[in-house]
Amino acid sequence: MKIIVLLINVVIIFSVTCKAQEGYQISGKISGVPDGKVLLINGEKGKSDTLGITQIKNGVFVFTGKVNGPVAVYITLSDGNGMIPLILENTNFMINVNDNGALIQGGRQQELLTHYTRISQSFVSEQAKIVAEAQQPGVNIQALQNQVNKAYEMSVNATLNLIKANPDEYATVYVIALGILKETEEELRLKYELLGEGARATIPGKQIAAALDQYAKLVEGKVAPNFTVEKPDGSLFSLYDIPAKLKLVYFWLSTDPSCRQDNIELVKLYSQYRPQGLEIISISLDDDRVKWKNTIGLDGMVWINGLDLRGFDSLVARLYMVNDLPTIFLIDAENRIVAKGLRGNDLRKKIAELLKKNKKK
């Protein structure tokens, strides 16, 4: 079973071009698993359809069927242990899983997905190499940072060039959709604008459009989305129910060093500006309640703290399109966004400015 679990992170994909046909056939072999059921699941976000169920016997299984167009799926055992991702289309696929990973043959979209994957893997490999060099004594850290920046820029440019060359392909829009919560609005919009109409009409394309619509709701002057989450004592609170002249909504994580450093500054800010009408509402992306509560106490976070225990899948974080930590929104008494993305001295100056204006009214 351990082999399949590892596939989530170490799938190695190879593919060959196959002729178009009426339906698909997936012929698979998985070493070292007992006989049982294998499921073919729709892997598009928001979908949980089981497209097929078949038996695996002596490590061999076969799926057959037909799809209306390319769709992201994954293959998993009936106990939910492990998964093999695949972009399914009406052609033949061969999958061979062993101790070394998975060999997947078949499908034009799968082949294109492999090209995108190789770009990201190349950057990750280069980054790991540079990080290892940074551990050596006497190294030039700035020079190494420049290398990382250059490698990242090359990765971004290679990805953009591949998108430009394949603007209407399902694999392209699927890859972009996977990064919705990992990219800034500008990065996501740039990639979306490169897509063709066919790609935009797919489910991943609509998800990207919805994300960009959500970003549009988070500009200064817009009413901030309301949310309800749990306090450390188990009671619930909502953003709109908190009375304050100025609300600082702070997305953080107890294991993130930058967040822990910001907590020190926020404690000072809260002490200084709480009497003038500032309230801090911190929303943690932790998935460990005990660690969360302990950090609140250790860092002196005496303001309002909330958690939904979904980690990086936090519904509140998604509502606010949080793609980096820490992230801060400033919200006025009418629950309108007045600033976002500020830290350090810029944050302090903005708070002082807003509370001063509020005092004059």
Quote the pLDDT of residue 242.
97
Mean pLDDT of 40-45: 86
Per-residue pLDDT, 47: 63
Provide the pLDDT for residue 167. Answer: 98
Give the least confident one: 1-10, 205-214, 289-298, 351-360. Answer: 1-10
List, in order, residues 6 or more apart from 94 with CB less than 8 Å away: 27, 28, 103, 104, 105, 106
pLDDT of residue 21: 65
Q: For residue 40, give the H/E element and its range.
A: strand 36-42
- Percent of the chain scoring above 70 in pLDDT: 92
Question: pLDDT of 298-312, one tens digit each?
Answer: 999 999 999 999 998
pLDDT of residue 49: 87
Instruction: Indicate if the pLDDT at residue 124 is higher than 80.
Output: yes
Give percent above pLDDT 90 in the chain: 80
Instruction: Dump pLDDT digits (tens) for 225-239.
Output: 999 999 999 999 999
What pLDDT does 7 receive?
Answer: 33
DSSP 8-state class, residue 180: G
pLDDT given for residue 3 in this prediction:
23
Q: Which of 336, 335, 316 is nearest to 327 (CA)?
A: 316
Q: How confident is the model at residue 325 (pLDDT cuts 50, 70, 90)?
A: very high
CA distances from 27 to 86, 135, 149, 175 (A): 13, 46, 42, 25
This prediction's pTM: 0.84
